[in-house]
Amino acid sequence: MTILAKTLPLQLTAMISLPRSSSEGGSGFDLLHPQIQRWVRQQGWSRLRDVQEQAIAAICGSDEDVLISAATAAGKTEAAFLPLLGSSATREQPGVAILYVAPLKALINDQFRRLEDLCDKIELPLVRWHGDAPQGPKTKVMKAPAGVVLITPESIEAMLLRRPATAEALFGVLDAIIIDELHSFLQGPRGLHLSSLLNRIELLNDRRPRRVGLSATIGDLEFAARWLSGTAPKPAQILAVAGGAPPLKVQVRTYVEPPEGDPSGDVMIDDPLAGSALAKIAQHAFEALRGSNNLFFAGSRANVETLADRLRMISENAHVPNEFFPHHGSLSKGLREELELRLKDGRLPTTAVATTTLELGIDIGSVVAVSQLGAPRSLASLRQRLGRSGRREGSSAIFRNYLREPYPAADADPLDKLHFPVIQAVAALNLLRSKFVEPPETDPALLSVSVHQILSLIVQLGALSAGKLYLTLCRQGPFTTLTKTDFVDLLRGMGNGDAALIEQAPDGSLMLGAEGERLTASREFYANFATDEEWRLVHTGRTLGTLPIVNALVVGSIIGFAGRRWRATDVDDRAKVVEVVAHSAGRVPKFDRLGQEPVHDRLAAEMLAVFLSHELPDYLDDNAKEFLAAGRAAFAQLVLQKSHFIDAGSATHVLTWRGTSANALLAVLLTSMGFACETFDVGITLTGCPIDDAVDVIASLDGCPPIEDLGRFVENLVVEKYDAYVPEELLRRLWIRRHEPLREPMTKLIRELAGMVPN
């Protein structure tokens, strides 16, 4: 059974006509080194692509930084390397000429295979530098530094930490640094880490190496250009090249959970999934995906394992070879790499059921289709995933979005009757058509990465004064947001305790303490990111389960879990444990509230627009169309075009039509006033609060109080890898600083909810 996805009337990027071949009429091709030109001809290329033409002209025409933004498989790698390799081939100065930085070892291996022949032709060494790369080429380039090194941020860290003299010999005369998958470094601890590492590499050079960034998924090009060129006099030159994206075919399929206790469905003996929406999704995926290479993003590790196991069972029952395999961070490296190679090899049809581990640019070849369980929450992730499909000439990208809806019971919570999954899917695809991507936000990993880099600098450079550390780390780039007072408080916190990270010598310089020695001696220190952590919910000493928590928690927060509500009575940041007691407050909505990716305000607003629209997209299957119509009917019946409040009996839902950050802050505000609050994607729930009381509460607010007052209530401040070594008062101070810009929008929201301004 083959299901053909309907064509969505959008392109990820607009199709354009490429210019005349450079080999026919000049331009970029003529600027390349003769040996590079010869290699291009040997590849049988009839022309350079548009992104390559523009990048060659920009790179050869100046020494400025360049940001290259183009669709997946548009030729960005060659666009950067062709002009840079030509100049490196004629260079006589010893030392590595080009440093290529990528977020993944597998991506480095892919690029090595892609560039190996070209570098061999121009007699330029090309070396992979990561923990799994062969040692021989590394040793050779250390003895005679030259050519191109492909490396991860963690391997740069290891070299600066363990072999500072080697790092200077290798990277002290760089011509250029290429940063691939730049979007993956614009937010989070790895981005902050890389920014610091780039600055430290510059200190090894007499002149600043130019930087070239590559990405297919950037929401704010101006921000990315500033990030890339943080130490340059001006931001990078932006080359945003349309074209290269295939037509996109989309289908949204919705499956309904059976009534509780209903034994119907494709029953297997002792099968807990029989008749469930997930069982039906697995059956359809088996029929639609079998026989080709595909990616199926299933969200959580639990979903990945359950879905992969279900697909394996279906294959065994059908007496056919299994083609469906899990891929997530908890699996061994060997199992992950075996699956990646099987996909890339392409001889055996394979579908990887994955978390987010296959989003980035690991070369797994071209997949026929991308599937996803659950409505998209992040447009950046969605665009990255879609770039995996349709890479072959003349083929379309295919996206199947599988949704689960609770059974439409007569006494269902009103939120379930709004059918948010299909609404959110349509909203996300609308934003995809408009090319929206979430912009980066203020990074909560700042203090954690600062701890890491302070320790690393002390190891690399020896004992340092506090002033020298501050200038080295904070004089430029994202760390400039740390004030001198912040920095001093951080150093004091790192020096406190029985096992201090740092100690002060008699001359005032700072050196490693016992705990600092222990941390930096471990290989785990090279990486600045922690593995995905889940919080453990404990009730009267018994563990209820684990779940990711992306919202701010305060004592009194309400958490929906295992079909009921719980009230947080204690939050242990260090142990990631939340003590809870049962909270009785009405029926719990059955739609999934627990997402690891936050929802942006723009997506929440677009969901409201979908409710208000009459458009019925033809990429929806019959079930999805029915639920979209039913959701709009419930929206009208609840008069939500005029009101933000939904009466849920002993609870009240408040639809803010804002995203995760705004709802979390509003929940902190109301919890600080003594109300029990629970957040969901586009609003909050006041549990144990009838609608009249909820309206009165909101109306009584005169805007948002000082964020500093709210910050006193937040408990789960230890989030990033080294936050545990930061003084709590400093973590709280920066939480307040990050959320201060939300105060004015929060005041506007409160007045909107209270009817003080028009909806």
Residue-averaged pLDDT of the chain: 86
- Confidence at residue 758, expressed as pLDDT on a 0 to 100 scale: 42
Which residues 6+ apart lie within 8 Å of 14 measured at CB? 242, 243
Alpha carbon 355 to its chain centroid, in Å, reads 11
The tokens for 515 are 């705990």
- Confidence at residue 419, expressed as pLDDT on a 0 to 100 scale: 95
Residues facing 502 on adjacent strands: 512
Strand pairing report for 6-11 and 247-256: antiparallel
The band of 682, judged by pLDDT with boundaries at 50, 70 and 90, is very high
Residue 485 pLDDT exceeds 90? yes
Closest CA to 725 of 443, 459, 550, 518: 518
The band of 544, judged by pLDDT with boundaries at 50, 70 and 90, is confident
Beta-carbon count within 10 A of 748 CB: 14
Residue 687 pLDDT exceeds 50? yes
Backbone φ and ψ for 687, nearest 5 degrees, come out as: -85, 145
Residue 270 pLDDT exceeds 80? no
> Is 445-521 assigned to CATH 1.10.10?
yes
The tokens for 19 are 């210019």
pLDDT digits (tens, 9 = 90+) for 145-198: 999 999 999 999 999 999 999 999 999 999 999 999 898 899 889 999 999 999
The answer to whether 75 and 51 are in contact (CB under 8 A) is yes
- Confidence at residue 559, expressed as pLDDT on a 0 to 100 scale: 75
Q: Decide if 32-240 and 248-258+274-410 have a common fold.
A: yes
- Confidence at residue 527, expressed as pLDDT on a 0 to 100 scale: 85
Closest CA to 659 of 670, 667, 651: 667
Please give the DSSP secondary-structure letter assigned to residue 158.
H
Rounded CA-CA distance 592/175 in Å is 50
Residue 20 pLDDT exceeds 60? no
Q: How many residues are there in the chain?
A: 759
- Confidence at residue 575, expressed as pLDDT on a 0 to 100 scale: 74
Query: What is the CATH code for 32-240?
Result: 3.40.50.300
Rounded CA-CA distance 418/435 in Å is 26
The band of 757, judged by pLDDT with boundaries at 50, 70 and 90, is very low
Beta-carbon count within 10 A of 540 CB: 9
Residue 263 pLDDT exceeds 50? no
- Confidence at residue 268, expressed as pLDDT on a 0 to 100 scale: 41
The residues spanned by each domain of the chain are 32-240, 248-258+274-410, 445-521, 534-595+642-755
Residue 6 pLDDT exceeds 60? no
Three-state DSSP state, 529: coil
Backbone φ and ψ for 332, nearest 5 degrees, come out as: -65, 155
Task: Give the sign of the dihedral formed by CA 666, CA 668, CA 669, CA 671.
Answer: positive
Percent of the chain scoring above 90 in pLDDT = 58
Q: Is 164 exposed, middle or buried (0-12, 13-18, 19+ CB in 10 A)?
A: middle
- Confidence at residue 2, expressed as pLDDT on a 0 to 100 scale: 34
23-27, 62-66, 87-91: range with lowest mean pLDDT: 23-27
**Winning range, highest mean pLDDT, from 493-502, 568-577, 679-688:** 679-688
Mean pLDDT of 505-514: 94
Which residues 6+ apart lie within 8 Å of 618 measured at CB? 6
The tokens for 554 are 């305060």
pLDDT digits (tens, 9 = 90+) for 551-568: 677 777 777 665 567 888
- Quote the strand ranges of 465-606, DSSP E: 502-504, 510-512, 535-539, 542-547, 558-561, 564-572, 577-583
Alpha carbon 196 to its chain centroid, in Å, reads 20
Query: How far apart, in Å, are the Cα atoms of 405 and each of 417, 609, 628?
Result: 10, 21, 11
The band of 245, judged by pLDDT with boundaries at 50, 70 and 90, is low
The band of 336, judged by pLDDT with boundaries at 50, 70 and 90, is confident
- Confidence at residue 286, expressed as pLDDT on a 0 to 100 scale: 96
The band of 102, judged by pLDDT with boundaries at 50, 70 and 90, is very high
- Confidence at residue 346, expressed as pLDDT on a 0 to 100 scale: 80
The band of 533, judged by pLDDT with boundaries at 50, 70 and 90, is low
59-68, 297-306, 345-354: range with lowest mean pLDDT: 297-306
Closest CA to 85 of 3, 147, 13, 12: 147
Amino acid at 318: A
pLDDT digits (tens, 9 = 90+) for 37-79: 999 999 988 889 999 999 999 999 899 999 999 877 778 999 9
Residue 216 pLDDT exceeds 90? no
Considering the segment(s) 248-258+274-410 as one domain, its CATH architecture is 3-Layer(aba) Sandwich (3.40)
The tokens for 37 are 């030109």
Rounded CA-CA distance 684/29 in Å is 57
Rounded CA-CA distance 583/564 in Å is 8
**Winning range, highest mean pLDDT, from 100-109, 236-245, 402-411, 622-631:** 622-631
Rounded CA-CA distance 516/634 in Å is 58
- Confidence at residue 564, expressed as pLDDT on a 0 to 100 scale: 65
HEC per residue, 83-148: HHHHHHHCCCCCCCCEEEECCCHHHHHHHHHHHHHHHHHCCCCEEEECCCCCHHHHHHHHHCCCCE
- Confidence at residue 592, expressed as pLDDT on a 0 to 100 scale: 53
Please give the DSSP secondary-structure letter assigned to residue 6.
E
Alpha carbon 429 to its chain centroid, in Å, reads 18
Residues facing 6 on adjacent strands: 250
The tokens for 542 are 């018994």
The band of 22, judged by pLDDT with boundaries at 50, 70 and 90, is very low
Rounded CA-CA distance 494/501 in Å is 5
- Confidence at residue 272, expressed as pLDDT on a 0 to 100 scale: 53
